[in-house]
A and B are shown apart, each in its own frame.
Chain A
Amino acid sequence: MIPFLDITKDVCPMTFVKVKMGLTKIAPSEKMNVLLKEEALKNVISSLKTEGHKVTRVERKDDAFLLEVERSENPTGRDG
């Protein structure tokens, strides 16, 4: 069962902070699902990419998006 994180009620910077916390709870190469609002898409995805994680699937859910995120083997980036 892939862990699920709903950040639709959060705003920046808590959106990415919560995703980052979620990623620490899974092993490298494992996946988690993140449900987020459209306005958080850019910051969350670009931060994930900067740190070397992957967004492996994107699905529209009404006015939100569901991302499947794969944790990097070796997180990079300034906070990595």
Chain B
Amino acid sequence: MNEADYKELKKGGMMRQKEAGLFSVRLHVVGGHLTTAQLRAIQEAADRYGRGAVHLTARQGVEIPFVPTDSLAALKEFLLPSGVGVGVCGPTVRTVTACQGCRVCPSGVIDSPELAEAVDRAFYGKPVPHKFKVGISGCANNCIKAEENDIGIKGWTEPRWAESACTYCGVCEAVCPTKVVHVSEGDCKISVDLSGCIGCGDCIESCPTGSMAEGSRGYRLFAGGKFGRVPFLGKKILGVLRTGEEAIAAIEAAVEFFRAHGKSRERFGDTLQRTGFPALETYIRERLGQKV
């Protein structure tokens, strides 16, 4: 097989194996969600075209290894009716990871799988200067590790203190994991330093009187994260976005920014190190009409 064929193959998510003539076929999975019918199709495909085994990847994906070159097209066609496509590699927007979100998890603030599907529909496989990963955690517990992604999202709840029924009991101050809530009983005042707030909502959930109420609830973005050889944690950007549509628009603007400023084979975080994170925030705010 010539190099052009290989590049074409690689676009389609066929990972060349160490042993010549064999490929590990990457499947298109969104947020780690597969139906049992799809799992049965994958099982059958792995039996027919591979060696009866699958590999679960680090980012909720599935690969079928040991597929010979002459079975690649047949495998792709076999999986087609189940709705399981072949994945992508190279400089593209990659697998979107997600937790089970607020429809399943008691801690969930946002519907992570629904947003993952929307992000996937809008950006999956689209060309960018280097691989670009999006991960969505439904809440501050961050099971999906948002900061490891080029764009990470967390469900976020910020408090707003209303003094009416407050007894200054100190529970909010005690439960705050980042110690940004300060009770001043003498002054009858509670202050929250939102810059250090991690959006967990513990102060709201624990408040006996309901005085610590929900101020804003939505989507918080982190940009420029990656793992690999030189890990870097993504940084919190913008304010709390209120809707999934706003989150999608912000990601779209971030992808545009990356295309405009990123060098080939440079990860988003490295681009942002050069441009500065405020440049990205300014760009996104302009695209979203300053409202974030």
Contacts and interface: CB of A to CB of B under 8 A. Distances in A.
Interface string A29-47: 0000000001001100110
Contact of A60 (B170, B175, B205, B206): B170
How big is the A interface, by class? 10 to 19
Given A38-B174, A65-B174, A58 B205 contact: no
Interface residues of B, number: 11
A7 interface: no
Q: Is the interface of A mostly helix, strand, loop or mixed?
A: strand
Contacts of B171: 41, 45, 58, 65
Contacts of B167: 57-58
A41 B205 contact: no
Interface string A44-58: 011001000011111
B206 A45 contact: yes
Interface in B61-116: none
B208 interface: yes
Given A38-B174, A41-B175, A65-B174, A58 B208 contact: yes
A58 B169 contact: yes
A17 B11 CA distance: 54
Contacts of B147: none
